Structure 1
Amino acid sequence: LLKSSLSFVQFYSSSIQFIFQNFVTTNVSDNGILGDPFVDCGDNYIEVRFETRNTFSGLVFVEDHLTDPSCRSVHAENISDQGRNASIKLGFKSCDIERRRSNNPRGMFVTTSIIVAFHPEFLTKNDRVYVVQCFYMELKKVLEKEIQVRMNPPPLQTEQMQMPVCRYEVLDGSPTGPPIFYAVIGQMVYHKWTCDSDSENQFCMLVHSCFVDDGNGDRVQLIDQQGCAKDKYLLQNLEYVSDLMAGKEAHVYKYADRQSMFFDCQIALTIKEPEQQYCTIPSCPEPPRRKRAEAPLPTNINSTESTEETLVDDKWTIVPNKSNNILEEYELEKSFIIRREQIERVGWFDNNFDLYQDQLCMSSLGFGTIAVMNLVMISTSALFFYGTYKQEYSRTTG
């Protein structure tokens, strides 16, 4: 921080001392200094500039150092009317400039005396002497800046494990049978779920939430969310052959008045725990056995009557026995079992079966075979009747 000041001799901090001395001159000039001088305290120099009333043709020099060219201003000749400024620039190490340290305030004072002479050879009454002083303040301050340094985060190496590719197949009769897309009621099929993985002994599979529907929104649950079968007549509990394979045999059934059935299941894949040798398979009870009963559905679910499965409004319903549990419904569509009362309804047979009495459809081979057989029968009959007629005619004429 640089501090500059100009003051008269009576002020210690900064001063410009004006010393007026009477000198005998032969020519008195009417020139003079306007206002206060301008002092520039540089990092290694002091510069003083003056504004004069008229053109300045004199000298500015350090007191007692007139003969030193570095301590005086250069005399200017042929100065125009605009040259009204006088100045001098001094270095700290020249002209015996005083440098004095101070403890209060802490810093350094740089002091020198400057004479402004309006006459190039003599000192006149208009000349001035200035004490120029610059103060350079010293600051003793501890500057602190907190910088938090931490290690670079370790690079995160990620690798996406290839997930297994799963499929659901309905095979003919056994786990090794061919896939089937058409079947008849009662045919033995094998429901098979398989997941293929490039990594061995890494994943476990659970088949759950299996449904069958007719394509029109009628859905029946076969396997619940825990992977347990809901009806033993439709599908038993699954057998897990390996970590990524499960299946079970079942007989084909169908919706009445529907030619197609749609199966959909969900497969949950989990990562095998370290040191886990086998995957955990669901522990399921025996699927419920449902039977029809003539008794109506009890109105009080807290009834103490014996538990029985009742078919009401074409849905199987289990009534709890001596329990406060909420009534649980297993919705088994009536379409899987054709009941006697359905068959005895008027028009049921005509609505479910199409009979074509006036049309006969057969292949060309079958039609040709029947035609040849008819021709042979007609020929044989004709020969038989002809032989019989000839024998009778011979007997009569003989």
Structure 2
Amino acid sequence: MQGTPQVICNADSIQLNFDTKNPFNGKVFVKGFSTSDSCTMIGNKEKNYSFTMEHGSCGLRRQREVNGVVMAATIVVSFHPIFITKIDRAFRTSCFYVEAKRSVQHQLDISGLTTEQLEGQTQLPVCKYEILSEPDRKPIKYARIGETVYHHWVCYPEIVDMYCMKVHSCTVYDGQGGPAVSVLDEDGCSTDGVILKDLEYLSDLEASRNSQVFKFADKAGLFFNCQIQLSLKDDTYGCEQAHPRCDQVQTVVEPASKTTEVATEYLPNDLTSTETYTVYPPAPPQPQDFASIPSYPEVYPSTTTTARYNSPGLHPPESYKKTTEQTVAPPPPYRIKRTESQNSTRRVRSVADFDLPETGITVFGIEDHADDLSLPRSSKDSTSTDDILKLNLPCQDQSTVILYLIPFIITLILSLVLSLIIYRQRQIISRTFLKQ
């Protein structure tokens, strides 16, 4: 290869340009995607080449930074079309895309008066995500499948008691182009209780959860990506509305919703009252005293009969009126206490929603050797490949090495003794000649 390859960061792709001294007939591919046609380029015996990777393809890793995004991938330039040889080259290419910030302002002066605008800006909390060991709670880089680890999210604010935190949209992938698997949804609830249960919020800006270490088949890497939503703390309910409310179907039981007594005025009607009320005026009974037909005079002139007539209309007797007529008035209102659920849901005032830098660990599976393996857990410990290979050496191989070392040590001791004897003999001979 001639010169240093050139990396060009395009708006939707990353381009690698390189030159070779001799006609190139090998293969250029992205690490982990040597069998993918879209991520591979075959040489055509030219000397100048340009290899392009589109964003979102070929396992191009996206890492969120404070003021931008980093896109990175490893490109292998193989001079043999099939095999990897010692003359091949591998390049770690990365592009940093800075987020552009634009501010548009318009000022209007009225009657010659100007308004001076004073703005105060508060620094957002600094958040981080770590995978810690149990029970010493130290950051780890290596773990064995089935071990218990401690996932920890925390934010450090400048102003205390102002913000609330919610962890959501967490995914895990193998780091080699495999598909990402969701472990926390957009609401911050667990999607698989076997892998990671619902988080426990220790404070307004701190969450954690213990889990068992797992791994992808035939892949040793685990890389976690999570998002954090920051919102303003409510004066009444605190961070209760900001933290996730998940269906507790795993092992945690929450109390029932809050109830309160509410006093409401009710008036009796045909549905709430069973009493009967008399309607005024009551229906009078059928009157008996109507105008009677006058009788004709008898044949005897000394006897006369006078016809009797009642006054017009229906007039029940006074005694009937006193016993039947009633004045009906609605009863006064009264209060009835009942219980009803009070839903205190309020809109969460979000101020920021961003990605955290990915956190990864290397997992040793059940197929690895050394039952009593003592791995370098912390990032401060030794992490070289040779040390890991030595720790993974089987007991039988260690015995074989010791058997080979014993003859070597015996030979070394005999050589030292023989050298000492020869040295002493030379000293004696030299003294004898000096005396003569």
What is the TM-score when the length of structure 2 is the normalising length?
0.33
What is the TM-score when the length of structure 1 is the normalising length?
0.36
Larger Rg: 1
